[in-house]
Amino acid sequence: AQSVTQLDSHVSVSEGTPVLLRCNYSSSYSPSLFWYVQHPNKGLQLLLKYTSAATLVKGINGFEAEFKKSETSFHLTKPSAHMSDAAEYFCVVQIKAAGNKLTFGGGTRVLVKP
Amino acid sequence: KAGVTQTPRYLIKTRGQQVTLSCSPISGHRSVSWYQQTPGQGLQFLFEYFSETQRNKGNFPGRFSGRQFSNSRSEMNVSTLELGDSALYLCASSLGPTGASYEQYFGPGTRLTVT
């Protein structure tokens, strides 16, 4: 069975500094991987997705993620944090052989300090 | 185009009661998925419907059920509510079934509190 581990439950950064959110996955098959963001009292919004094309994926709002098969990682980065980036972020894995159900990581809550 | 709407947004029920939540997908979307979000268990997949048929089901007891209508609107029902059913229930819609590279669009959720 596939699983997703987000290595940090909370991340605190200063506005204008880089953001790194770490995600490791476990799967016997080639996965599709996603990052979603959830702002308070809102639904989830897709930031970016990896589906076996380019390993460096660019998403919305300046975010990008790199798929590293050898490390089974899919870390999310942004060069310069903005106050509006304060939210909870979810790394998600999807395996075709497992019925395409989405499996979510535990989430990383990002705090951006002025 | 209107987004995914969920009603009601907030709900308080008593143990043992049953509840029905509703989800209206984005116009033209035929797939609806349901998720439960709790602080302890995180986000968990409940089930997916496409063209009125359940395509996938997560590991939840039979008290959790759902259906989809011909207009793609979906409802989920929880019978014999337990305290542990208190959660944010999220609905997501997509043009086609998951796994076919269709992006899922999430609604704001229904916050269910069981007392």
pLDDT tens across A13-46, in order?
A: 999 999 999 999 988 788 889 999 999 878 899 9
**In contact, A75 and A64? CB cutoff 8 Å:** no
- Is the omega angle on the peptide bond into residue B8 within 30 degrees of 0, that is, cis? yes
Out of A92-96, B9-13, B20-24, B107-111, pick the least confident.
A92-96
**Inter-residue contact A34 to A2 (CB < 8 Å):** no
What integer pLDDT is reported at residue A96 of this predicted model? 74
As a whole number, mean pLDDT of residues B78-95 equals 95
**pLDDT tens digits along B10-20:** 999 999 999 99
CA angle A72, A36, A63 (to 5 degrees): 80
Burial of A79 (0-12, 13-18, 19+ CB in 10 A): exposed
pLDDT band with cut points at 50, 70 and 90 for residue B104: confident
- B90·A41 Cβ contact <8 A: no
Chain A CB contacts of B56 below 8 Å: 99-101
Compute the Cα dihedral for B5, A63, A104, A39 and give only its sign: negative
Taking 90 as the threshold, does the pLDDT of residue A94 lie above it? no
Which region among A84-88, B37-41, B89-93 has the lowest average model confidence (pLDDT)?
B37-41
User: Which residues 6+ apart lie within 8 Å of B70 measured at CB?
Assistant: B52
Distance from the Cα of A41 to chain B's closest Cα (Å) equals 7
Task: Tell whether B109 lies on the interface with A, counting CB pairs under 8 A.
Answer: yes
pLDDT at position B100:
61
> Please, which pLDDT band fits residue B99 given cuts at 50, 70 and 90?
low
Instruction: Mark out chain A residues that contact chain B at CB-CB < 8 A.
Output: 36, 41-46, 49, 51, 90, 94, 96, 99-107
Q: Do B99 and A96 touch (CB under 8 A)?
A: yes
Rounded Cα gap, residues A104 and B11, in angstroms: 25
Q: What is the pLDDT of residue B98?
A: 73
Q: Which of B48, B34, B109 is CA-nearest to residue A38?
A: B109
